[in-house]
Chain A
Amino acid sequence: MIRFTARRLAIVIASLFASTLIVFAILAVLPGSTAQVILGTQATPDSVRALNQQLGLDKPLWQQYGNWLQQLVTGNLGTSYISQQQIGEQITQALRVTGPLVLFGMLIGLAIAFPAGIIGALRSGQRSGALVGAASQVGIAIPTFVGGILLIIIFPVKLHLLPASGFPGWSNPGQAIESLILPAVTLGLVEGAIISRYVRASISEVLQSDYLRTARAKGLTPGQALRRHGLRNALIPIVTVVGLELTGLIIGAIVVENVFTLPGLGQLLLQSVANRDLLMVRDIVMIVAAAVLIINMLVDLSYRVLDPRVMSRV
């Protein structure tokens, strides 16, 4: 297990390095000059050249790339030309919003998906099973921004519960969590609807498996058989989906952050793109890439824990 983890980590690091190359190359070939954007349309060619020199943008590309790598490794990401603020500082601030949002959203999603999926599988062909299926269809069909706005209308506007938007910062944890509840529920409802379908399919398959019949032939009740023999086997395909959904959520959070005006990574990214703050953009993209790679690694590791057959294959 330790050797496997080490190997997977090495792969993650190699992939991260490859990502830096791709991200840098894409931004390098983009048209437009950063100095031109900063100085505006009235700038003289001389002042643009001077600023480029000051920013180090006149240096050869490999040198610029080297500098960036060094920044990434040391964690000192430097200052944004546009906002004149520390890039690292701003990204950390945004992550403090987006991280908990994605995590809470996923937890809520799982808390919905498992009961709903299991009921859907056990009662397939019955009214309650069909109801669960229909509810998940609706949940998938409603876009997150509509769902979010609906929640805002119901809770803060009509019921005067929970804040409708904004984020007070973590200095007051109670308020911070309160302001994350509705956005997290918005994400969680959609995730719950999506994942519940996979849970239902996976449990249905397990319910028809020979080994579950064997478990019943041993004298286990249907509930015991499902808990002791079914769940772990059903989890194997579900973990894959949860991993994919989790990476999707990081992107999906952008919409929800905008609906609830949360100062998260999504907002920071949109703002930076609009401002042509290319240094900020490439660092955010790298953070997202790292998150995706790490989540995938965790998914792979959990296969090893859940499914003994994976061991002998590697």
Chain B
Amino acid sequence: MPVLSVRDLSVRAGDLPLVHGVSFDLSAGERVGLIGESGSGKSLTALAVMGLLGKGLTAQGQVLFEGQDLMSTTEKRRCQLRGNGLSMVFQEPMTALNPTMRVGRQIGEVLRVHRNLGKRAAREQARGLMERVDIPDPVHYERHYPHQLSGGQRQRIMLAMATACEPSVILADEPTTALDVTVQSRMLELMRKLVAEQNSALLLITHDLAVVSEMSDRILTMYGGHIVESGSTKSLLDHPRHPYTSALVATSNAVTVDSKAPAGALPMIEGSVPATGQFPTGCPFRDRCPRADEKCAVMPPLEPLGDQVVACWHPVPENAGDPASRVGA
């Protein structure tokens, strides 16, 4: 049984739909990547699962956490679960940490809220957590404020907070995007280790395909508030079937050192992600898609196709060869 099961989750700002009926499952110990360009609704989906959407945003659908629907439960129960049963790692550790509270206390606070620990016990355990995320000399660093730490250290603090109560589900929203490339891989390694130790399910939101290919078992592609494709990491990256995933993979392969990539101009996806609410009706990608025709005015359903599940009337053929060669076809 999945530990988190999202069913038909929609997010809207007033009348404006932003996320359209998204469904996915996370099982214990599973690492799932959620990819897509900025503005595709990845972060909103995670915030809706946490119940932390900003003012003016409403969510509908079901978020089943260990069988319990969070959408219909009380706010009190949700507070008990946040940081405890399911937790979130945010993108920008500088602004996501309280600038006027010592980091040791910020970590200890999670334990004080959910484990009813006293000040001293929380501090003691927070030191252990800091050590676990490879911050040496916690007795020294616990008294630091966020601005006195490096970006990598700050994100480690974030991770220590998110994993303090050994949650079953961790939602990580672009956890390494704000970090130096050299720090990134160590951070990912640490996340992988902690998730494995706790047997947590990880939803890793990123636009960096190198990160997902390294980190995740399964990938979901999101565009225009829809999940347009999902499948195992290997099959999805090797044989993307949705034209959007295919284009993403092609642009990504071209940037990494790839002898097969054509020389000269870098492949790119035509156009740009439309502003919120400016997506076309039907398939949201059809105005940028080389394969689109009049049929695409109707949103295609998510249907199994080979090893993946794809929402497309004209999927990329499986034997299309190297995705890079298909770009801009």
> Measuring CB to CB, which residues of chain A are less than 8 angstroms from any residue of chain B?
125, 208-211, 213-221, 224, 228-229, 232-233, 236, 306-309, 312
Closest chain-B Cβ to A113's Cβ sits at a distance in Å of: 21
10 contacts between A and B (CB under 8 A): A210-B92, A213-B90, A213-B96, A218-B83, A219-B81, A221-B79, A228-B109, A232-B100, A236-B100, A307-B99
Asked whether, in the complex, the Cβ of B114 is within 8 Å of the Cβ of A216, the reply is no
Asked whether, in the complex, the Cβ of B90 is within 8 Å of the Cβ of A218, the reply is no
Which residues of the other chain, B, contact A236 by a CB distance below 8 angstroms? 100
Name B96's contact: one of A125, A210, A220, A228 (CB within 8 Å). A210
Asked whether, in the complex, the Cβ of A218 is within 8 Å of the Cβ of B161, the reply is yes
CA distance A246 to B54 in the complex (A): 36
> Measuring CB to CB, which residues of chain B are less than 8 angstroms from any residue of chain A?
50, 52, 54-55, 75-76, 79-84, 87-88, 90, 92, 95-101, 109-110, 113-114, 145, 147-148, 158, 161
Name B145's contact: one of A209, A219, A221, A309 (CB within 8 Å). A309
Name A211's contact: one of B79, B96, B113 (CB within 8 Å). B96
Asked whether, in the complex, the Cβ of A219 is within 8 Å of the Cβ of B99, the reply is no
Which of A211, A214, A220, A228 lies at the interface centre, i.e. has the most chain B CB atoms within 10 A of its CB? A214
CA distance A232 to B145 in the complex (A): 14
Which residues of the other chain, B, contact A216 by a CB distance below 8 angstroms? 52, 82
CA distance A254 to B101 in the complex (A): 42
Asked whether, in the complex, the Cβ of B99 is within 8 Å of the Cβ of A217, the reply is no
Identify the closest chain A residue to B162 (Cβ). Answer: A217
Asked whether, in the complex, the Cβ of B96 is within 8 Å of the Cβ of A218, the reply is no
Name A217's contact: one of B80, B87, B101, B114 (CB within 8 Å). B87
Identify the closest chain B residue to A208 (Cβ). Answer: B54
Name B100's contact: one of A215, A219, A220, A233 (CB within 8 Å). A233
Name B114's contact: one of A219, A221, A233, A309 (CB within 8 Å). A219
CA distance A233 to B100 in the complex (A): 7
CA distance A221 to B88 in the complex (A): 16
CA distance A220 to B50 in the complex (A): 13
Identify the closest chain B residue to A309 (Cβ). Answer: B147
Identify the closest chain A residue to B89 (Cβ). Answer: A217
Asked whether, in the complex, the Cβ of B99 is within 8 Å of the Cβ of A309, the reply is yes
Asked whether, in the complex, the Cβ of A308 is within 8 Å of the Cβ of B145, the reply is yes
Which residues of the other chain, B, contact A224 by a CB distance below 8 angstroms? 113
Known: A213-B90, A233-B98, A308-B147. 19 other contacts (CB 8 A): A210-B92, A210-B95, A211-B95, A211-B99, A213-B96, A214-B158, A217-B83, A218-B110, A219-B80, A219-B82, A219-B113, A220-B109, A229-B98, A229-B101, A307-B99, A308-B100, A309-B145, A309-B147, A312-B147
Which residues of the other chain, B, contact A214 by a CB distance below 8 angstroms? 90, 96-98, 158, 161
Which residues of the other chain, A, contact B148 by a CB distance below 8 angstroms? 312
CA distance A231 to B81 in the complex (A): 25
Asked whether, in the complex, the Cβ of A211 is within 8 Å of the Cβ of B98, the reply is yes
Which residues of the other chain, B, contact A308 by a CB distance below 8 angstroms? 99-100, 145, 147
Given contacts A233-B100, A308-B100, A309-B147, whether A218 and B95 have CB atoms under 8 Å apart is no
Which residues of the other chain, B, contact A215 by a CB distance below 8 angstroms? 98
CA distance A123 to B70 in the complex (A): 25
Asked whether, in the complex, the Cβ of A209 is within 8 Å of the Cβ of B95, the reply is yes
Which residues of the other chain, B, contact A221 by a CB distance below 8 angstroms? 75-76, 79
Identify the closest chain A residue to B85 (Cβ). Answer: A219
CA distance A201 to B61 in the complex (A): 34
CA distance A64 to B181 in the complex (A): 70
Identify the closest chain B residue to A207 (Cβ). Answer: B55
Asked whether, in the complex, the Cβ of B50 is within 8 Å of the Cβ of A217, the reply is yes
Which residues of the other chain, B, contact A210 by a CB distance below 8 angstroms? 90, 92, 95-96
Asked whether, in the complex, the Cβ of B113 is within 8 Å of the Cβ of A220, the reply is yes
Asked whether, in the complex, the Cβ of A213 is within 8 Å of the Cβ of B99, the reply is no
Asked whether, in the complex, the Cβ of B88 is within 8 Å of the Cβ of A217, the reply is yes
Which residues of the other chain, A, contact B114 by a CB distance below 8 angstroms? 219
CA distance A114 to B9 in the complex (A): 39
Identify the closest chain A residue to B50 (Cβ). Answer: A217
CA distance A309 to B102 in the complex (A): 11
Which residues of the other chain, B, contact A312 by a CB distance below 8 angstroms? 147-148
Asked whether, in the complex, the Cβ of B110 is within 8 Å of the Cβ of A219, the reply is yes
Which of B81, B95, B100 lies at the interface centre, i.e. has the most chain A CB atoms within 10 A of its CB? B100
Which residues of the other chain, B, contact A228 by a CB distance below 8 angstroms? 109
CA distance A229 to B90 in the complex (A): 17
CA distance A217 to B54 in the complex (A): 13
